Amino acid sequence: MLVLGIESSCDETAAAIVNEKKEILGQCLLSSLEEHKLYGGVVPEIAARSHLEYIDEIIENTFKDAKVKPQEIDAVAASSGPGLIGGVVIGVMAAKALALALNKPFIALNHLEGHALAARLTSDVAYPYLLLLISGGHCQLLIVRGVGNFERLGTTIDDAAGEAFDKVSKMLGLGYPGGPIIEKMAELGNPERFVLPRPLYNSHDCNLSFSGLKTAVRKIIESYSTDGIIEHAVMRKQDIADICACFQKAVADCLLHKLETAAKIFKTKCPDGKDIVVSGGVAANTYIRNRMQSFADKNGFTFSAPPIRFCTDNGVMIAWAGLERAQKGLFNELDFKPRPRWPLDENAPKAAGAGGVKA
């Protein structure tokens, strides 16, 4: 079985073809990231224009790379939400057009399901597993029982983890996207120098919050400015590195603490479950990955994380999750409407960083 996956929900225009032997036959990815840097975040209109300009070429190149003819694929999957709706519509329209022209089934894939199942392509991860999904727009802990079968244990109640990295980076004048820059700076810093809060640490549930942490960082930066304006702060490179190290440690402490709570619930609900998985853009962070690895080692779990290029948005994860759906015969009609809001666990209450409110 061969499935084509198309991704266009944020700033990456991407496509890939995978088969059930977990082989990636072809892939192609283009990011409009450089065009957004000037604005300190993704500008939806710029992203949508770029998707529109390049999507045909990306799909064509994917077929060429895979040495597969369009007629040979068995289904076409596209990220159909949640995400920036202009981009999502472009990917969905391209996928529907192909499916119609080739007379193949169309799969409307939840972008978050792409992130959630990516580790099953690259590692031996069995259902059910405990997933920490941390990206630019989402931050949640879930039990993944199967395709389309998710139970949310916790979520951020305000900012997503990646959003917090991006905002702190912006405050420090370090640029976008913030995650990779902060991680690099943190390597040079002292993680004990500044005292930062661990929001919701004692809440006894699996929920997270990063907005207070961000405000605490802002206050430290303000203290380096004579007029209280953070853009006027005069900081040495070492001060910035120390803030980055303290911030990254605080985020990781919160994530690990809630992972511990979630792991206890997971053990009770799924006694046979052995795997802990991390995915989403922030899963590219080596410090967070290492801390999760040692937690899993100490507590008898197997830890898996997709390779870094499959943590941030890509077409391969969409093709793979599409393939898992196709294997179960889970297809969609061509009148499927893209969903800007689309939580993985539809039974859980609405939440900002869980596919409920924002991209």
Nearer to Zn ion, 135 or 140 (CB): 135
Which backbone phi and psi does 11 adopt, to 5 degrees?
A: -105, 0
Q: Does 280 bind ligand KG4 (CB under 6 A)?
A: yes
Q: Does 180 bind ligand KG4 (CB under 6 A)?
A: yes
Q: Which of residues 290-329 bind ligand KG4 (CB under 6 A)?
A: 312-313
User: C-beta of 313: minimal distance to Zn ion in Å?
Assistant: 4
Q: Does 156 bind ligand KG4 (CB under 6 A)?
A: no
For the chain, state the CA radius of gyration: 20
Nearer to ligand KG4, 2 or 316 (CB): 316
Question: What whole-number distance in Å separates Cα of residue 144 and Cα of residue 57?
Answer: 34
Nearer to Zn ion, 275 or 313 (CB): 313
| Residue-wise burial string across 253-291, b where 16 or more C-beta atoms lie within 10 A, e elsewhere | ebbebbbebbbebbbeebeebbbbbbbbbbbbbebbbeb
Place of tokens 């499959």: 310
| Residue 180, binding choice from Zn ion, ligand KG4, none, Cβ under 5 to 8 Å by partner class | ligand KG4
C-alpha 177: how far from chain center: 13
Q: Which of residues 97-136 bind ligand KG4 (CB under 6 A)?
A: 135-136
Nearer to ligand KG4, 154 or 281 (CB): 281
Q: Does 340 bind ligand KG4 (CB under 6 A)?
A: no
Q: What is the three-class DSSP state of 177?
A: coil
Choose the stretch contacting Zn ion; rule: CB under 5 A; options: 30-38, 224-232, 312-320, 344-352. Answer: 312-320
Q: Does 135 bind Zn ion (CB under 5 A)?
A: yes
Of 112, 148, 126, whose CA–CA distance to 275 is shortest? 126
User: C-beta of 288: minimal distance to ligand KG4 in Å?
Assistant: 7
Q: Does 178 bind ligand KG4 (CB under 6 A)?
A: yes
| Residue 19, binding choice from ligand KG4, Zn ion, none, Cβ under 5 to 8 Å by partner class | none
Query: Which of 313, 324, 338, 353 touches Zn ion by CB under 5 A?
Result: 313
Torsion, Cα of 92, 306, 205, 350 (10° steps): 0
Nearer to ligand KG4, 104 or 258 (CB): 258
Choose the stretch contacting Zn ion; rule: CB under 5 A; options: 90-98, 130-138, 170-178, 255-263. Answer: 130-138
Q: Does 285 bind ligand KG4 (CB under 6 A)?
A: yes
**Cα–Cα separations (whole angstroms), residue 212 to 114, 208, 219, 258:** 30, 11, 11, 17
Q: What is the three-class DSSP state of 125?
A: coil
- Looking at the DSSP bridge assignments, the partners of residue 27 are 16
Question: What whole-number distance in Å separates Cα of residue 114 and Cα of residue 325?
Answer: 11
Query: Which of 24, 282, 296, 326 touches ligand KG4 by CB under 6 A?
Result: 282
Query: Which of 63, 129, 150, 165 touches ligand KG4 by CB under 6 A?
Result: 165
Q: What is the DSSP letter of 332?
A: B
Type of residue numbered 204: H
Choose the stretch contacting Zn ion; rule: CB under 5 A; options: 53-61, 117-125, 196-204, 309-317. Answer: 309-317
**Cα–Cα separations (whole angstroms), residue 226 to 126, 221, 234, 238, 243:** 55, 11, 9, 19, 19
Nearer to ligand KG4, 98 or 160 (CB): 160
Q: Does 194 bind ligand KG4 (CB under 6 A)?
A: no
Of 358, 354, 333, 351, whose CA–CA distance to 96 is shortest? 333
| Contact by Cβ (8 Å): 152, 354 | yes
Q: Does 275 bind Zn ion (CB under 5 A)?
A: no
Residues that bind ligand KG4 (CB under 6 A): 10, 135-137, 162, 165-166, 177-180, 183, 280-282, 284-285, 312-313
Residues that bind Zn ion (CB under 5 A): 135, 313
